[in-house]
Amino acid sequence: MKEEKFSLNIRENPSLSEILDKVMDTGVVIRGDLVISLADVDLMYLNLQVLISSVENIYNPALTKK
Amino acid sequence: MEQKLLYLFALLEAEKEPKGLPDGVLVREDEGFSIAYKEVDKQEFGDNLSQQLEDLEWVKEQAVAHETTIQALLPFGTVIPFKFGRIFENWERLRDKIKANQTFWEQEITRLRDKQEWSLKVMADTKILEKHLQQNQAELKRESEEIEKSSAGKAFFLKKKQTEKTKEVLNQKLEEDAQHLLDKLQVLTEYLYLKQTSQAEGNQGRLILNIVLLLKRDVDFFEWVEQQLEPLVAHQAYHFLVAGPWAAYHFLTPLPQVSNS
């Protein structure tokens, strides 16, 4: 039987979701004089995820090699 | 004159002078570190902030600008990124906050020097895999042959039985392959952070591995995946989505509570 050769795709620009995941969910938490709505970040993050769920590859293409 | 606030991006142990940073981003030497920040309008980030936060486009722009700055700093040395939205009244306040944790920053920079974060998602196209298993896995292959030889009625029931069996074999196969890939990744680094996967099928298949890794700066993870992971599953319906390098977001130590007041 002929064996199928399946595709392998290894390079992709990071999605906006991934960027949000980094900057809003991680990073050193230092208390500034003002903090952008810390208590609402989770909610904002969820709303943003809905808003941008279909948006991909908007980030600087130089980040990843093609 | 319009009043300004300072938005803090990162601490940097600069090996060379940062250049070509996004508009408005400044790097100032103080307390033995390079501190990356930008001046922002008090009206926008202070007085009207709650209003701005209702504008998701604005929030999205700020989040992307934050990460764009961190990315721009990466080639110049070890970067300790701060969480989104850290704002100070003036330079003295910002500097005092950094100074209060001087030893902590030094330890973090030493620990993360010459290391970068990468992310890897492995997706499985279950439709292709099911077909592959039915053609190649001994038991499923035997059932496929029996279905072909059977009458329509018998074939219907055999097919139903085979579908259930295929699901079982598929899940087992996915688990085995995910573990196999993970074992290989653990040889590359002990700094692995496993994120949530799901049984749900997305556009690119089922997410079977979702990993963040901390790697030495000289590792080209794109190349490593191509050369080291691809051969492990060369004939399978897997997609490897690699992104990076990033600052070591997932591998930062929490700031000591006592100083974070």
Question: If you average pLDDT over residues B191-213, what whole number do you get?
Answer: 84
How many inter-chain contacts (A to B, CB under 8 Å) are there? Answer: 163
Question: If you average pLDDT over residues B235-250, what whole number do you get?
Answer: 86
Q: Which residues of A touch B241 (CB under 8 A)?
A: 9-12
Q: What is the pLDDT of residues A25-49, one digit of tens each?
A: 888 888 877 777 544 454 455 555 5
Distance from chain centroid for Cα B86: 21
pLDDT of residue A12: 60
pLDDT band at B9 (very low <50, low <70, confident <90, very high): very high
Q: How close B78 gets to chain A, by Cα (Å)? A: 14
Answer positive or negative: Cα dihedral of B98, B100, B101, B106: positive
Report the chain B residue with the minimal C-alpha distance to residue A48: B56
Choose among B56, B59, B240: nearest Cβ to A9. B240
Query: Is the distance from CB of B211 to CB of B119 less than 8 angstroms?
Result: yes
From chain B residues 63-102, the ones with a CB under 8 A of any chain A CB are 63-64, 66-68, 70-71, 80-89, 93-94, 97
Q: ipTM of the predicted structure?
A: 0.72
What CA–CA distance (Å, rounded) separates B100 from B108? Answer: 14
Question: If you average pLDDT over residues B209-214, what whole number do you get?
Answer: 94
Query: Is the distance from CB of A25 to CB of A61 less than 8 angstroms?
Result: no
> A interface mutation test: which of B8, B9, B54, B59 has the most A CBs within 10 A?
B59
What CA–CA distance (Å, rounded) separates B74 from B92? Answer: 26
